[in-house]
Amino acid sequence: MALVTAEDLRLYTGVVVEGDRLEAQEMYVNSALETVEGYLGYGLAFARRDATLDGNGEREIQLRARPISSVLRVSLSGQDVPPEGFEASGEFLVRRGGFFPAGRGNVRAVYEAGFSPPGGPGPELPGAIKGAVLRIAALLQTESEGNIGLTGKSFGEGGSRTFVSFTNFDKYLSPISNWKLIRI
């Protein structure tokens, strides 16, 4: 089941559509979800992930997803290390009682991370993130069928200006900036 659905968009906007427009609503939701994932820097859906990373000589290493639900397997320089020797903290994998050896591509981590629909194996998608997806999807839906935002201004004797509004999602994304991956 999807994290955000066309049905969620219909409930959010109150716009009920039929036929081909149902597929369009799914496209708006999927496009909005991709926009949010691109902004955050990781896929939101709960999944098993397999990452090869560069060791940094530190106690923690950044993974490319959050929230991390479980660490399934870790190998350092080709040697398996029991996953009990590691813990997840945000998007970081922390080595208990040791350090990640420095080197290129010498750390492999298999882990589960991401969000699930209600009742799924991972935590539910935070309301702020779901809200951002729905706001962006609603804007995409509004702009469909040739609709664009226009404003105008008249100046006295025959002067006027028209302004075309271009899509900018920044105001919808800024409230979820706390969920972005920290790049170190």
Strands 92-95 and 60-62: antiparallel
Is the predicted pLDDT of residue 131 greater than 90, yes or no?
yes
Count the Cβ atoms, other than its own, within 10 Å of residue 167.
12
User: 58-104 pLDDT, tens per residue?
Assistant: 999 999 998 999 999 999 999 999 999 999 988 899 999 999 999 99
User: 132-168 pLDDT, tens per residue?
Assistant: 999 999 988 887 765 555 555 566 666 666 555 557 8
- Hey, what amino acid is at 91? E
| Strand ranges, E, within 24-143 | 47-55, 60-62, 68-76, 79-81, 86-89, 92-95, 103-113
Mean pLDDT of 21-45: 93
Two tokens, residue 25: 């609503």
Q: What is the pTM of this model?
A: 0.82
Indicate the domain borders of the chain: 6-43+118-179, 47-113
Q: What angle do CA 174, 176, 177 make, to 5 degrees?
A: 65
Q: What is the mean pLDDT of the chain?
A: 88
Assign domain 6-43+118-179 to its CATH architecture: Orthogonal Bundle (1.10)
Three-state DSSP at 121 gives: coil
Which residues sit opposite 52 in a β-bridge? 108
Question: What integer pLDDT is reported at residue 50 of this predicted model?
Answer: 96
Query: Is the Cβ–Cβ distance between 92 and 60 less than 8 Å?
Result: yes
Question: What integer pLDDT is reported at residue 165 of this predicted model?
Answer: 55
Question: What integer pLDDT is reported at residue 23 of this predicted model?
Answer: 86
pLDDT band at residue 42 using 50, 70 and 90 as cut-offs: very high
